[in-house]
Structure 1
Amino acid sequence: MKNLYFAFIALLFLSSCAVQKPEKLIKEADVARLIKTLSSDEMEGRASFTPGIDRAAKFIENEFKEIGLQPLDVHMGYRQEFSVKRIKVGQIDAKINGKSIEQQNIVTVSDLASFEFNSGSEIKVLRIASGEQFMQRYREIIGMKTKALVLVDNQHAAVFKRVKDGSTRGRVVENVNESTALAFVLGETDATSFTIKASNTIEELPLFNVAGMILGKSKPKELVVISAHYDHLGIVKAVDGDAIANGADDDASGTTAVISLAKYYKKLNNNERTLVFVAFTAEEIGGYGARYFSSMLNPDDVVAMFNIEMIGKTSKFGKNAAFITGYEKSDFGEILQKNLAGTDFKFHPDPYPTQNLFYRSDNATLAALGVPAHTISTDEIDIDKFYHTVNDEFETLDVNNIWSTIKAIALSARSIIAGTDTPKRIPKLKQ
């Protein structure tokens, strides 16, 4: 009986260690250090293809190494490298009905090094008419994967100018699509005859996620992904002398959570499922990092994904609260809330359904493949005046809110990480 008693006491002791309070292992001062470094001017806003994002990646790599995470590929280190192509518009020569079109009134979209078409060939003539939603129609036409001249009503002059300005920075694509050649022309109402000649400069550029893992003890093939994106906008148009979009909330706050949680679970050392911690690149220019990451694994192996995006300010629900995108699509949120019983923290469904946030972050690719992949956030996206501006800086954040949210994620994930809860799969999107 005495031996049984001591065995019971030992079991209680081990159990208490397994659910050790996060504040014992996650320190608010360390959270502040991480986010302050990632959002510093030295990182230059962490734009893709810049020295700033390389410095950020090196910082994250070093944190993962100090924590003791295992690289996903021991031969490649913590960087998961891949490449994309950036296409910049070159020379455009266009005539419609014998009249030369000024450069500011034409935008071309093509992945080809050059293209030429005229009214004597089988080229479609399409329109974006007055009263139509320009961007919706613009994307729809690009999605057609066709060759066409597109006449744009003058009503859309303002948004057309923004698209033209954006085109000078180049488009990023994963693979070249040879079936699309489009010329959008502003202000012309008829095209009896036309000739269009255009050229592009195509560069192949490197990108890299930063990823590490803690191998599961009894269920190593079952993966739990904890992620955030570490890129931002970089150097932008100066406002009051400041041109660095530091991206403190978006998403240095989420990346800080990933590093903090990696440190927490490595110290606990009791995960039955394999934990994969990943800082994604290129979220701001199309989610290429998450897409590449998803292509390198079997989605059926991924039990759940905790994607963390913008947790730097109090949510609309007040303190000790965050929301989960796609809450209704699985029981992921219900499991998390069950694990928070007895605490003050609460996870809510996404309060911004019109923003379509579920498919706007790095969870989207795996979610489309059926993984219960959700984003956790506290941002009031409808009124956030610092979002995508040079004012998204460390000084605007509530570090205590970040710390509280990280601790809540740590507690709420424990039954999934222990292998005792498995969230329901999300219906796959039709391809």
Structure 2
Amino acid sequence: MRFALAASLLALSVATAAAAAPVPAINVETLKDITRTLSDDSFQGRAPATPAEDKTVAYIADRFARAGLKPGNKGSWYQDVPLVELTPNAAFPISITGGKTPITLDYKTDHITWSYQVQPRIDVAGSDIVFVGYGINAPERGWNDYAGLDVKGKTVLILINDPDWKMQSLDGPFGGRAMTYYGRWTYKYEEAARQGAAAAIIIHDTEPAAYGFNVVVSSNSGGKLGFDEPGNHMDQSAAAGWITNDAARRIFASAGQDYDALVAAAGQKGFHAVPFTGMKASLSFDQSIRRQKSKNVVGIIPGKKRPGEYVLYSAHWDHLGICEPVDGDNICNGAVDNASGTAGLVALAEAYKAGGQPDRSVVFLAVTAEESGLLGSEYYAANPIYPLARTVGGVNMDSLNVIGKTNDIVVVGPGKSELEDYLKRAAVGENRVLVPEPTPEKGYYYRSDHFSFAKLGVPMIYFESGEDLVNGGRERGSKLAADYITNRYHGPKDEYDPNWDWSGAVSDLKLFYTIGRELADSDAWPNWYPTAEFRAVRDKSRAGK
């Protein structure tokens, strides 16, 4: 009886909360205009630290001002982010010797490789090759693929994702189907560098990687950005990259190894790395070095009652710039990813101005270099303009829905934050339901800017439309989503289309607004759930505020 009464009261409170704060109209023309403008060829794909950046950030600042925001960094719209760009000067092969058959891996066809070390010449000569499985060192899970192994100066071959990614359940040693950070390519390189590897090479496989090798090439050809900081990243591996699955199989065969058998063994606890005795990898290339500051764009609506407490909205403005050509087009325009999310920031700012001044301050942050490893958001999180301990929480937007309204909402990385309760309340007003993340193995939680803030304790929620379209159902939604990933994601075909259906973006933005407005007009401090990996750092941060 008590449970039934509590459930009834909860349902009433949810409905009341959803109805209490009407959402101002979301301006579709703002979404269209900004997305169309930022993804125009004249913006050259919005690569950071290029001439196109100046044009991009000036445009965003102007739209922030027109939406009624104030400059968010002591009178300036910008926060400088010091970056260094490293660009290989020519295509180069990887030579594999010492096996049954010499192998030459061609640049962009068989491999895409670069360096994080800030030096003009990269040489990896006669480096021993070791297969290290998934390349994970997780003592809390009793797993160490580097156990008893010295890989200093060696080339390590690494599988993408987690060992249990093929499971359909979520109860495996690494979260089952759901990717952990150990499965991300960024972690693989970080751990290989900690172990002293000279070269860290990930073996591509489309399903566990969540994209084709064409995406790997388009995302990593040309210049690579990193923070410009003391030490010049000499603690990183000299070379990092990917090889195709076919190239990996040729290497394994030349070593007299059964590729499929070793991959299966690598998924089992207690796996021991396999040196490819006598086999050596060699590669060398020159690279140009360019240092330049990029910019985050920051706007704010000061709070009227508690201006020293902050709610955060984030979206990245950058994309890949000039990239691998498709049908003669070499500009990766990034219309959906993420001109649309940047447009969403401005549309939300307009809605806030229409809704009246909030009690807490609301920060609108358009960050740079997300496509280069979340660099802009990571820099802000490490050098916050507004203290993270006083940042209540926020919402990240990465690619708005332009295929129509859906009945469902997908929380990316569910079960982590009390902000999910805010989303559940907001969803009532849009007649939408939360559904489980359909592809947790793709690790989207670790692939966008909310992660930079989450790591330092700030509750951030990242969600998106599901695939159950109001017009066409799940079959049509799944087909359109797959078409985008296959044919447009991180490629020149991600261009503005005047025929897009913006109803889904509008519905999502209403949810973004409702969550942020509830945070901004309350004195609540939502936290991570007790089991979330970010709870301890948040509790420590808040205790010392």
TM-score (norm 2): 0.62
Q: Is the 8 A contact 1:313 1:401 kept in 2?
A: yes
Return closer, same or farther for 1:123/1:39 CA change in 2, 3 Å cut-off: closer
Match of 1:83 in 2: 82
Q: Which amino acid aligns with 1:419?
A: S
Aligned to 1:31, what secondary structure does the other structure show?
helix
Return closer, same or farther for 1:267/1:151 CA change in 2, 3 Å cut-off: closer
Return closer, same or farther for 1:229/1:349 CA change in 2, 3 Å cut-off: farther
Determine whether 1:296 maps to 2:383.
Answer: yes
Look at both structures and tell me which one has the larger radius of gyration over its CA atoms: 1
> What's the CA shift for 1:326?
2.4
Q: Is the 8 A contact 1:88 1:201 kept in 2?
A: yes
Rounded to whole Å, the distance in 1 between the matches of 2:202 and 2:377 is 34
Match of 1:126 in 2: 154
Aligned to 1:59, what secondary structure does the other structure show?
helix
5+ residue gaps, structure 1:
1-14, 154-158
Match of 1:19 in 2: 21
Q: What does the per-residue CA deviation read over 1:407-430, in whole Å, with 9 as the maximum and x for residues that have no partner?
A: 232234322110244322354289
Return closer, same or farther for 1:36/1:123 CA change in 2, 3 Å cut-off: closer
Rounded to whole Å, the distance in 2 between the matches of 1:291 and 1:430 is 19
Structural mapping, 1:323-402, within 5 Å? 323-378=410-465, 384=484, 385=486, 386-395=488-497, 397-402=500-505
Return closer, same or farther for 1:199/1:179 CA change in 2, 3 Å cut-off: farther
Match of 1:405 in 2: 508
Q: Which amino acid aligns with 2:327?
A: D
Structural mapping, 1:19-418, within 5 Å? 19-23=21-25, 26-75=26-75, 77-89=76-88, 109=115, 110-114=117-121, 124-128=152-156, 133=159, 139=189, 142-144=192-194, 146=196, 148=198, 169-174=222-227, 175=229, 176-180=232-236, 182=238, 200-297=287-384, 298-314=387-403, 319-378=406-465, 384=484, 385=486, 386-395=488-497, 397-418=500-521
Return closer, same or farther for 1:58/1:164 CA change in 2, 3 Å cut-off: closer
Aligned to 2:339, what secondary structure does the other structure show?
helix
Q: What does the per-residue CA deviation read over 1:226-270, in whole Å, with 9 as the maximum and x for residues that have no partner?
A: 111111122223323333222121111111111011111123223
> What's the CA shift for 1:365?
0.8
Q: In terms of mean alpha carbon deviation, does 55-64 or 345-354 score higher?
A: 345-354
Superposition RMSD in Å: 4.2
Q: Is the 8 A contact 1:310 1:378 kept in 2?
A: no
Give the share of equivalent positions with the same residue, in percent: 26
Match of 1:422 in 2: 525
Q: Is the 8 A contact 1:207 1:281 kept in 2?
A: yes
Rounded to whole Å, the distance in 2 between the matches of 1:113 and 1:296 is 29
Rounded to whole Å, the distance in 1 between the matches of 2:96 and 2:447 is 38
Q: What does the per-residue CA deviation read over 1:11-38, in whole Å, with 9 as the maximum and x for residues that have no partner?
A: xxxx9x9934422xx3222322222222
Return closer, same or farther for 1:350/1:336 CA change in 2, 3 Å cut-off: same
Rounded to whole Å, the distance in 1 between the matches of 2:514 and 2:302 is 19
Q: What does the per-residue CA deviation read over 1:275-317, in whole Å, with 9 as the maximum and x for residues that have no partner?
A: 00011111111111101111122322111121011222348xx
Rounded to whole Å, the distance in 2 between the matches of 1:391 and 1:267 is 35
Return closer, same or farther for 1:160/1:179 CA change in 2, 3 Å cut-off: farther
Return closer, same or farther for 1:404/1:95 CA change in 2, 3 Å cut-off: closer
Aligned to 1:371, what secondary structure does the other structure show?
coil
Aligned to 1:22, what secondary structure does the other structure show?
coil
5+ residue gaps, structure 2:
1-16, 127-149, 162-184, 204-211, 256-276, 468-480, 538-545
Return closer, same or farther for 1:123/1:202 CA change in 2, 3 Å cut-off: farther
Q: In terms of mean alpha carbon deviation, does 391-400 or 180-189 score higher?
A: 180-189
Q: Is the 8 A contact 2:93 2:106 kept in 1?
A: no
Rounded to whole Å, the distance in 2 between the matches of 1:326 and 1:430 is 18
Q: What does the per-residue CA deviation read over 1:140-181, in whole Å, with 9 as the maximum and x for residues that have no partner?
A: 66432626478999xxxxx99998998762432213222345
Q: In terms of mean alpha carbon deviation, does 272-281 or 36-45 score higher?
A: 36-45
Match of 2:179 in 1: none
Q: Which amino acid aligns with 1:88?
A: T
Match of 2:474 in 1: none
Aligned residues: 402
Q: What does the per-residue CA deviation read over 1:373-403, in whole Å, with 9 as the maximum and x for residues that have no partner?
A: 1223227665533222222222163222222
> What's the CA shift for 1:61?
0.7
